[in-house]
């Protein structure tokens, strides 16, 4: 689901003092080696719990969340998952009928969540999708649904104002209460701050310049570009925030600009994160990336050096007519190549 999946990674670009709880429910037609229903819960972008129709159990995936030992709460979450597991079968069947579909693999997805700011402000969202496309979305301000296409109007009639008010009430109250409890038990993990490691790199002189930040926590980060000190929005592609295996996150922004423009103007990448006392500034100077690696230039330079040295060594050895026991030119080149590969450019 292109637009819905994008929402997962971009919805919460907020300050470090904000916390958010997201749920992702997915139903799939039978016939493939995948559960017919899955439910995933994320707290501040970290997967906290998982449920699927095969196990029919809620599995907590964060150790700190296991400290929340309210059995009644987890039983309720399990019952909710059971209920939606059956409801999604009906939703998929209804959507297939609307499109005159009798077979094939089809999906129904519901994504919803809430967010709590440090000033007490609450936010929420609720969106449905079918087969990789938006279907319905809820406007919490008006308690009304917006249909993404004509077929979705049928579902919109079912999701009437009463149901919309129910969604709104859950997102602004129960969801927030759950979030506050989860954050309380996970505060040491969720409220820690880890500085990003940043770099600029470019495949070759005609390739886009990539500004990459990784290893940071919390998830919220801003990466922007400036041209001659002015904010730059054109020819910039901000990629989604992705998780690292250690629980931190990474993100990159891609600047597409010609070599001539890159040499002519002053381009900088600006990274802002709650762990930083001041923003990080990475500058592209004279077509070389400070703090990063221009791979094409470096590889070309290394190859040129190797060629020059190999010729010099060959001529020197011809003159000296070294004994077989001496170090050969190929051995010297292998050593040089190994040293070159081990160099780290900052």
Is the model's pTM score more than 0.85? Answer: no
Q: State the fold for domain 197-291.
A: Immunoglobulin-like (2.60.40)
The rounded distance, in Å, linking the Cα atoms of 204 and 97 is 51
Q: Report the pLDDT value the prediction gives residue 120, as an integer from 0 to 100.
A: 87
Q: Report the pLDDT value the prediction gives residue 32, as an integer from 0 to 100.
A: 86
The rounded distance, in Å, linking the Cα atoms of 80 and 92 is 18
What φ, ψ does residue 182 adopt, rounded to 5°?
A: -65, -45
The rounded distance, in Å, linking the Cα atoms of 284 and 327 is 42
Q: Report the pLDDT value the prediction gives residue 18, as an integer from 0 to 100.
A: 87
Q: Report the pLDDT value the prediction gives residue 45, as an integer from 0 to 100.
A: 87
Q: Report the pLDDT value the prediction gives residue 153, as an integer from 0 to 100.
A: 86
DSSP-derived secondary structure letter, 235: T
With beta carbons less than 8 A apart as the criterion, state whether 241 and 9 touch.
yes
Q: Report the pLDDT value the prediction gives residue 119, as an integer from 0 to 100.
A: 86
Query: For residue range 13-22, what is the model confidence (pLDDT) as tens digits?
Result: 344 468 999 9
Locate the domains of the chain by residue range: 2-190, 197-291, 296-342
Q: Which two tokens stand for residue 127?
A: 């969106």
Q: Report the pLDDT value the prediction gives residue 286, as an integer from 0 to 100.
A: 55
Nearest to 114 by CA among 104, 98, 125: 125
Q: Which two tokens stand for residue 25?
A: 């429910």
With a cut of 50, list the residues of the chain below it in pLDDT. 1-16, 290-346
Which residues make Cβ contacts (< 8 Å) with residue 132, sequence separation at least 6? 1, 2, 4, 107
Measured torsion, CA atoms of residues 154, 100, 33, 24, in degrees rounded to the nearest 10: -20
Let me know if the fold of 2-190 is the same as that of 197-291. no
Which CATH code is given to the segment(s) 2-190?
3.30.500.10
């Amino acid at each position: 689901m292109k637009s819905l999946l994008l929402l997962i990674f971009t919805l919460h670009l907020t300050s470090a003092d904000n916390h958010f709880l997201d749920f992702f429910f997915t139903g799939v037609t039978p016939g493939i080696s995948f559960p017919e229903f899955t439910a995933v819960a994320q707290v501040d972008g970290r997967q906290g719990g998982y449920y699927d129709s095969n196990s029919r159990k809620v599995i907590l995936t964060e150790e700190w969340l296991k400290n929340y030992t309210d059995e009644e709460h987890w039983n309720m979450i399990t019952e909710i998952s059971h209920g939606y597991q059956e409801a999604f079968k009906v939703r998929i069947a209804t959507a297939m009928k609307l499109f005159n579909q009798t077979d094939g693999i089809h999906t129904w997805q519901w994504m919803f969540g809430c967010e709590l700011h440090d000033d007490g402000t609450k936010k929420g969202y609720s969106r449905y999708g079918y087969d990789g496309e938006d279907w319905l979305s809820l406007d919490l301000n008006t308690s009304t649904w917006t249909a993404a296409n004509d077929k979705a109007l049928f579902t919109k009639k079912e999701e009437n104002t009463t149901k919309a008010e129910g969604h709104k009430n859950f997102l602004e109250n129960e969801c927030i209460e759950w979030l506050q409890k989860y954050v309380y038990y996970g505060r040491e993990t969720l409220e820690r701050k880890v500085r990003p490691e940043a770099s600029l790199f470019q495949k070759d002189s005609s390739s886009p310049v990539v500004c990459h930040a990784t290893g940071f926590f919390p998830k919220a980060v801003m990466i922007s570009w400036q041209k001659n000190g002015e904010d730059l929005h054109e020819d910039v592609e901000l990629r989604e925030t992705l998780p690292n295996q250690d629980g931190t996150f990474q993100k990159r922004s891609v600047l597409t600009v010609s070599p001539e423009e890159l040499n002519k103007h002053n381009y900088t990448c600006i990274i802002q994160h709650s762990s930083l006392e001041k923003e990080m500034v990475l500058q592209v100077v004279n077509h070389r990336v400070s703090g990063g690696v221009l791979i094409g230039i470096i590889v070309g330079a290394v190859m040129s050096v190797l060629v020059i040295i190999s010729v010099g060594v060959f001529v020197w050895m011809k003159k000296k007519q070294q004994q077989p026991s001496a170090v050969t030119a190929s051995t010297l080149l292998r050593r040089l190549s190994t040293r070159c590969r081990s160099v780290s450019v900052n």
